């Protein structure tokens, strides 16, 4: 049997993701089966399991690509005043919020309700924990550089400040996913106003 080349693996993964996006969007998370996706992609179901160990993992790979993104920790050292730090954080948060805008709210809601009712697998939970840790490390580095540049210490613990910023982002993205009436512009405005207040309070 001929060995599957790396190029063939990449093309197969693309076909799986293309099919999964179409099926998930048309049928929703709960009604979609791995058999549906395999049929749409024109491959055997065992082939899909060679790339994704479960429907939840395939869903994550299809719609939550930023979990695999690496953050650039080599910040360009401009003038790290409050406005610069705030703008960097806003840019980071907005890029993630904008990613949600292209997704179907009903699918996101179904997925999170499934997670809340049945719980994430250990690996799924690790993905979310790792993602939060990476974001937090980025924020901590940013706040440390802010202190160094301005030659003073923040009045509050940087770890706690980073957690507050993350909680602002997480709370708003969750509301966007769960409430039909919540628009992406409302989320951005709320995050912007919250961070504006946050930076006015810290010294």
54's torsion region: left (phi>0), alpha (psi -120 to 50) or beta?
A: beta
Beta-carbon count within 10 A of 129 CB: 11
CATH number of the domain bearing residue 68: 1.10.357.10
Integer angstrom CA distances of residue 46 from 39, 43, 54, 166: 11, 8, 11, 38
Lookup: tokens for 184: 């992406």
Which band of pLDDT confidence, cut at 50, 70 and 90, is reported for residue 111?
A: confident
pLDDT of residue 159: 92
Lookup: tokens for 172: 């708003």
Query: Does 119 or 56 have the greater pLDDT score?
Result: 56
82 in the same domain as 51: no
12 in the same domain as 106: no
pLDDT of residue 88: 79
DSSP 181: T
Structural domain contains residue 1: no
Domain residue limits at 35: 6-55
107 within 8 A of 29, measured Cβ to Cβ: yes
CATH number of the domain bearing residue 41: 1.10.10.60
- The two counts, helices (H) then strands (E), for the chain are 9, 0
Q: Which segment of 34-48, 55-69, 144-158 scores lowest on mean pLDDT?
A: 55-69
Residue 66 has pLDDT above 60, yes or no: no
Residue 73 has pLDDT above 50, yes or no: no
Residue 15 has pLDDT above 90, yes or no: yes
Residue 106 has pLDDT above 50, yes or no: yes
Could you give the number of structural domains in the chain?
Answer: 2
pLDDT of residue 63: 76
pLDDT in tens, 154-178: 788 889 989 998 998 888 888 887 7
CA separation for the pair 21, 25 (Å, rounded): 6
pLDDT of residue 120: 67
195 in the same domain as 173: yes
73 in the same domain as 30: no
Q: Name the most confidently modeled range: 18-22, 65-69, 118-122, 168-172.
A: 18-22
124 within 8 A of 56, measured Cβ to Cβ: yes
DSSP 103: S
Integer angstrom CA distances of residue 139 from 5, 59, 67, 164: 40, 28, 17, 11
pLDDT in tens, 114-144: 777 766 667 677 777 888 888 888 888 888 8
């Amino acid at each position: 049997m001929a060995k599957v080349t790396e190029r063939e693996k990449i093309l197969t993964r693309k076909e799986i993701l293309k099919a999964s996006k179409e099926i998930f969007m048309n049928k929703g998370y709960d009604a979609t089966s791995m058999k549906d996706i395999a049929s749409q992609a024109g491959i055997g179901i065992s082939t899909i399991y060679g790339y994704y160990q479960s429907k939840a993992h395939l869903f994550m790979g299809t719609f939550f690509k930023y979990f695999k993104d690496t953050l650039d920790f080599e910040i360009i050292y401009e003038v790290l005043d409050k406005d610069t730090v705030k703008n960097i954080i806003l840019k980071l948060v907005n890029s993630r919020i904008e990613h949600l805008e292209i997704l179907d709210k009903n699918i996101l809601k179904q997925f999170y309700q499934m997670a809340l009712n049945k719980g994430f697998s250990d690996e799924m939970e690790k993905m979310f924990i790792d993602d939060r840790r990476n974001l937090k490390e980025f924020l901590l580095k940013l706040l440390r550089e802010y202190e160094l540049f301005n030659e003073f210490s923040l009045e509050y613990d940087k770890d706690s400040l980073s957690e507050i910023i993350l909680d602002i982002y997480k709370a708003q993205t969750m509301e966007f996913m769960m409430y039909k009436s919540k628009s992406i512009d409302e989320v951005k405005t709320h995050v912007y106003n919250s961070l504006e207040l946050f930076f006015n309070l810290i010294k």
